[in-house]
Amino acid sequence: MFGEEELVKIHKERATQISYILTAAFGLILARLWYLQVYKGETLHNYSIQNRLRKEVVWAPRGLIYSRDDQLLVDNIPRFDAILTPQFLIDKEETLGKLAGILGTDSASIDAIMKKNSNQARYRPIIIKKNISFEELAQIETQNADLPGVSVDTFISREYRDKEVGAHLLGYISEISQTQLPKLRERDKTEYRLGDFIGQFGIEEQLDNYLRGENGHEFVEVDARGRRKRYINTDNLFKGIEDEKPLSGMNVKLTIDRDMQLAAYKALEGRVGGVIAIDVNSGEVLSMVSRPSFDPSQFSRGLSPEYWRSLVGNKFHPLRDRNIQEHFSPGSTFKAFSAIAAFEQGEIDEHTEVSCSGSFRLGRKVYHCWKRGGHGNVSLVRALRESCNIYFQKIANRMDIDVIANYAKSFGLGSRTGISLPREVSGLIPTKEWKKKRFGQEWQAGETLSVSIGQSYVLTSTIQLATSFAAIANGGKIYRPYVVKDIFDSEGELVKTFTPEVLSKVEIKNPKTLKFVREGLYQVMNHPKGTAFMRRGQGIMMAGKTGTSQVRSASADKIYQRCTDMEYESRHHGVYVGFAPYDNPKVAAAVIVEHGCSGSAVATPVVEAVITEYMKKYQPEMYLKNLEKDKVIRDNWVRSLRAEKEKPVEAEETDE
Amino acid sequence: MNQTFLQFLKRYDFSFLGSMLAIFLVGILNLYSSTHADTHGLNELYKSQIGWFLFSAMVAIAVSFIHPKTFERFAYLGYFITLFLVLLVLLMGKVGMGAQRWLVIGPIRMQPSEFMKIGLVLAMARYFTKVYPEKQLGFKDLIIPGLLMGIPTVMVVIQPDLGTGLLLLFIFCMMIFYKRLKWKTIATLGVIGMVSGVLMYNFGLREYQKKRIHTFIDPYEDAKGSGYNAIQSEIAIGSGRLFGKGFKNSSQASLNYLPENHTDFVFAIFNEEHGFFGSVFLVILYLVFFMRLIWLASSVQRFFDSVMIIGIMSIFFWHSFINMAMVSGLLPIVGIPLPLMSYGGSSLLTFGIGVGMATSVSNTRNFFN
């Protein structure tokens, strides 16, 4: 046996051999360095000095976005920056003077820009003027020889044709930030780099992988005066190095109609809110607009701090999408679902009458109808038409909240519709279990009364309202709303196409249920006593429901206070949702006008404008026929007014 | 008390910590120089590198107070813990940079394959000490050590991290060479290695790994331009000539001709800025450090310590050699950092642990002799 020390000793030979191996290995490295730095040093040094070959990224053109009727919505437009590289200046005074002349400024201000960037290396170009005109571009290019150090940087700007219109839907692109980089790399398994542009909102974000394309690279030679030229492969050293063309992004065709977008945007002029229109028989989103809005083009080339401040500082939050990212109490529009629940459960039929005296006491609390004197004896159709609170509250008082909730949920309220856009909110339909979990309290009977008229805990978004009313119109089919129709590659080949998807079908046992609810909704618009008769539009034959969403619950003395006299933040939201035409539904639309006070006067006209645009463009024959029907309704109304020999009363514009 | 402390300081072996500091100082200046002009935030990297160095130095000092017998006692445990972590990374499939190398626990991102190298060294040193320590190794004696190396190697290659896999293999080779592998066996293994290398290339490599080898064999023939890195690296080194362009004056690197100039290609920047003389100086710094480790390995009393020191030496030697060779165009480009010069926390920490272990062995020798 060996002792420990002997063991070490008998291995000493190998240790010595290892030290020889190391010496040889590093000797080899040094020999190689000698070869490169001394033997070939001069040659390689010249390469690094004179032949500034650089590998530069060639940005892939991002895919374009079209409307359903093939109108271009989002485009890429080349823009130019004038840049200056201090290292290549020969006569600074002269060059700055000439450049100032071209750019319409003076040498001193260019010098100031240079001073501001004087801490960076002299070979790094400085941007003197962003987004120069074609004229300025042409002058710089033609006087290139007299302007050593000056050149033009080209970049592609993402331009949104209608600027603010539908900005929330289209979204925007911007540079990946330092904090986003690791997360996005993880998420997409893609080697993003700082400086890469990526969709950050809306369609641009959702379809980023299709739109983005793949960047290429090219080799660019920069000569001793800082001018770039495409590298031409003549040099033996760089034999075999080749450019790689970028792969264009894919083009996208939306389900959105541009004219409806413009009409919707115009209808929301001066309002804070959102409107969405959906094809009743497919779930295609035809229009989706939110106001106030922002100009997405501003994001694609670094936001100016002023513009960013104006967006963030705006108390109406222009960056927020009112259609899918915001929820609110649906107000009386919810009565349609209370009605369906009661009818299906057999609590009511079309003849059931309930007396409305203007108020209704339950326990210690008194519930009021919006009409001070009450409606008298009302049936379902009339209750919907005139939006009688007491009718629905008395019926609801006989029912279980979970039953009402189930019907509302089966129409898709209180959960995400599944539209493929980021950050959709879910809304809320309260149940006994929910309340127990959320507050640890039992459900109160009075709360059922509030829920039945769409107040208290109920929260929905416009997209949910439009989807659910589309289901009332089409017999109960819940479609997944979608905004993208087709995706094409840059050669125009169809890559992917999206088709309607029925998520579920509401089970309606009683065939009369939908018939009488629809009749009620029809009369809201087309019966002289209907809450929105005065805003019924022409040629669209709409059925719908107005609503006001209480922002703050009103104390008893304020119930009848005029909404417009209240402070802005306390005013009700105006809500409207409807579908058209009544007898052959094609389109459903919902709108919220925040703090708009009235459903009928403020919200209804927005939907009316969007649907009118749809009918004229897509159903011109129906539109003409409807105009005639409208004429009959109007004539009858005028005749009845004359018969009563009364002055026409001012239409009532609140419905609660 | 004071007396004993002075006595202690006199006997404490500062040579390894000193080498570590010396190379790091060169490295941090070089890192600063190669990234100072970056506008995307890389110019701040040197700060976190200094932070990592201070932490690693503290770890080194802490480890130096552990008695080498403790390393021996816990050698297998250490090996299996690191092996488990490597397996965990593989199973969790956390993908970072296209390969699953990172283990993320809250804010901490670990690269267990770094620590696997030390785990392997410990386990092999322990095995060789206990089993026929005096015997010359033949084929049969390689089965168990081969498994100790083979299992983690396969795991990291699957990740896929071919570079670290090869490193484990090379560390293994140097250790069995030290443990007196018979020359006849070395020759036979050489032949087997060649054959399996060819097979590996044809069936076992991913496309991008093959591409790198192609690029190495003829960088000028690569149509897609991936030979670009190799060529730019050579231009950077060559343009430094005898005396270099000077601190912060690397044009190749600063103009982004060279990608990853703060990690794998730091050596090229150093050469560009400090020329051939600078490189000789740096290479000698590394060589002195390695030679002192080899000297220590043959002057300790305990055989375990000796084998372990050779293992630690080979970890850092292979890193340094492969990195320098690939940057200067002697080897294909695989992602292996240059110890103490390249940016990266895990690599610094491994170095610190290694230095601590060497110091511990050296101190034990001083104190009890």
ipTM of the complex: 0.90
pLDDT at B98 exceeding the cut of 50: no
3-state secondary structure of A652: coil
Q: What percent of chain B has pLDDT over 70?
A: 82
Q: For an interface test with A, which of B239, B260, B330 has the most A Cβ atoms less than 10 Å from its Cβ?
A: B239
Quick one: angle between helices B112-130 and B345-367, nearest 10?
30
Token pair, residue A264, equals 């919707």
Q: What is the C-alpha to C-alpha distance for residues A384 and A17, in angstroms, rounded to an integer?
A: 99
CA-wise closest residue to A262 among A295, A294, A287: A287
Task: Chain A: give the shortest CA distance to residue B216, in Å.
Answer: 14
Residues in chain A closer than 8 A to B177 (CB atoms): 14, 17-18
Which B positions 211-250 lie with beta carbon below 8 A of chain A? 220-225, 227-228, 231, 234-242
Topology (CATH level 3) of domain A258-293+321-490+497-644: Beta-lactamase (3.40.710)
Q: Could you count the other beta carbons within 10 Å of the beta carbon of residue B54?
A: 12
Out of A607-616, B30-39, B42-51, pick the least confident.
Answer: B30-39
- Contacting residues of A for B234, CB less than 8 Å apart: 36, 44
Nearest CA in chain A to B308: A8
* Alpha-carbon gap: A133 to the closest alpha carbon of chain B (Å): 28
Q: Select the residue from A7, A21, A46 to test the B interface by mutation, using most B Cβ atoms within 10 A.
A: A7
- The CA distance from B322 to B163, in Å, is 10
- Residues B300/B313, Cβ–Cβ less than 8 Å: no
Contacts (Cβ under 8 Å, ≥6 apart) of B130 = none
Residue of chain A minimizing CA distance to B94: A186
More confident residue, B97 or B165: B165
| CB of B283 less than 8 A from some CB of A | yes
Q: Kindly determine whether residue A219 and residue B330, on different chains, have CB atoms separated by under 8 Å.
A: no
How many Cα atoms sit within 13 Å of B131 on the Cβ side? 14
Residue B301 has pLDDT above 70, yes or no: yes
Q: State the sign of the Cα–Cα–Cα–Cα dihedral B213, B218, B221, B224.
A: positive
DSSP secondary structure letter of residue A376: E
| A228 Cα to chain B: minimum distance (Å) | 14
Angle formed by the axes of helices A335-344 and A389-396, to 10°? Answer: 40
Whole-number pLDDT of residue A237: 52
pLDDT of residue A125: 75
Q: Pick from A5, A37, A48: which is nearest to B251 by CB?
A: A48
Q: What average pLDDT does the segment B286-290 reach?
A: 95
B294 contacts chain A (CB < 8 A):
yes
- The mean pLDDT of chain B is 83
Q: How confident is the model over B180-198, as a mean pLDDT?
A: 88
Q: What is the pLDDT of residue A121?
A: 61
Residues of B whose CB is below 8 A from A16: 298
- pLDDT value at position B104? 64
Please tell me which residue of chain A has the smallest CA distance to B283.
A26
pLDDT tens per residue, range B198-209 = 887 777 677 666
Q: Is the pLDDT of residue B229 over 60?
A: yes
Least confident of A552-561, B45-54, B150-159, B185-194: A552-561
pLDDT of the residue at A51? 52
Q: Residue A244 carries which side chain, given as an amino acid letter?
A: E
A10, A23, A29, A219: best mutation site toward chain B, by most B Cβ within 10 Å?
A: A29
B45-64 helix and B15-35 helix, angle to the nearest 10 degrees: 170
Across the interface, of A25, A38, A194, the residue whose CB is closest to B321 is A25
Q: How far apart are CA A372 and CA A134, in angstroms?
A: 67
**Chain A within 8 Å of B251 (Cβ-Cβ)?**
yes
Q: What value, to the nearest 5°, has the Cα angle with vertex B20 and ends B15 and B23?
A: 120
Nearest CB to A15: which of B271, B297, B329?
B297
Give CA–CA dist B348/B20, Å, rounded: 10
Beta bridge partner(s), residue A90 = none
Nearest-angstrom CA–CA distance, A183 and A177: 10
User: In whole angstroms, what is the distance from residue A20 CA to residue A335 CA?
Assistant: 92
- Establish if A56 touches chain B: CB-CB under 8 angstroms: no
Q: What is the DSSP letter of A59?
A: P
Nearest CB to A33 within list B39, B235, B276: B276
Q: Look at residue A619 and give its three-state secondary structure.
A: coil
Restricting to B residues 153-182, those with a Cβ less than 8 Å away from any Cβ of A are 174, 177-180
Residue pair A457/A430 in contact by the 8 Å Cβ criterion: yes
Contact criterion met (CB < 8 Å) for B301 and A37: no
* Nearest residue on chain A to B134, alpha-carbon basis: A7
Residue A652 is predicted with a pLDDT of 47
* Nearest-by-CA chain B residue for A47: B235
In sequence order, the β-bridge partners of residue A355 are A377
| Cβ-Cβ contacts under 8 Å, A54 against chain B | 255-257
Instruction: Give the span between the Cα atoms of B74 and B118, in whole angstroms.
Output: 12
Six token digits for residue A349: 């039929």
A152's CB contacts (< 8 A; 6+ apart) are: A80, A81, A82, A83, A132, A137, A140, A141
Whether the ω angle into residue A292 lies within 30 degrees of 0, i.e. cis, is yes
Nearest to A195 by CA among A225, A165, A215, A224: A215
Chain A contact set for B341 (CB, 8 A): none
Pair B262, B35: CB distance under 8 Å:
yes
Distance (Å, rounded) from C-alpha A159 to C-alpha A64?
Answer: 10
User: Helix A258-267 vs helix A604-618: angle between axes, to the nearest 10 degrees?
Assistant: 160
Token readout for A407 is 């019907």
Element (H, E) at A465: helix A462-474
pLDDT of residue B96: 42
Beta-carbon contacts of residue B216 (< 8 Å; ≥ 6 apart): B230, B329, B331, B332, B333
pLDDT at B221: 45
* Averaged pLDDT for residues B294-313: 93
* Confidence label for B58 from pLDDT (cuts 50, 70 and 90): very high
pLDDT-flagged residues of chain A (< 70): 1-2, 49-55, 119-124, 189, 194, 221-242, 301-302, 552-561, 645-656
User: What are the CA-CA distances from residue A619 to residues A418, A581, A615, A625 (Å)?
Assistant: 28, 10, 5, 10
Residues A158 and A74 sit within 8 Å (Cβ to Cβ): yes
The pLDDT value given to residue B225: 46
- Map chain B to HEC letters: CHHHHHHHHHHCCCHHHHHHHHHHHHHHHHHHHHHCCCCCCHHHHHHHHHHHHHHHHHHHHHHHCCCHHHHHHCHHHHHHHHHHHHHHHHHHCCCECCECCCEEECCEEECHHHHHHHHHHHHHHHHHHHCCCCCCECCHHHHHHHHHHHHHHHHHHHCCCHHHHHHHHHHHHHHHHHCCECHHHHHHHHHHHHHHHHHHHHHCCCHHHHHHHHHHHCHHHCCCCCCHHHHHHHHHHHHCCCCCCCCCCCHHHHCCCCCCCCCCCHHHHHHHHHHHHHHHHHHHHHHHHHHHHHHHHCCCCCHHHHHHHHHHHHHHHHHHHHHHHHHCCCCCCCCCCCCCCCCCHHHHHHHHHHHHHHHHHHHHHHHCC
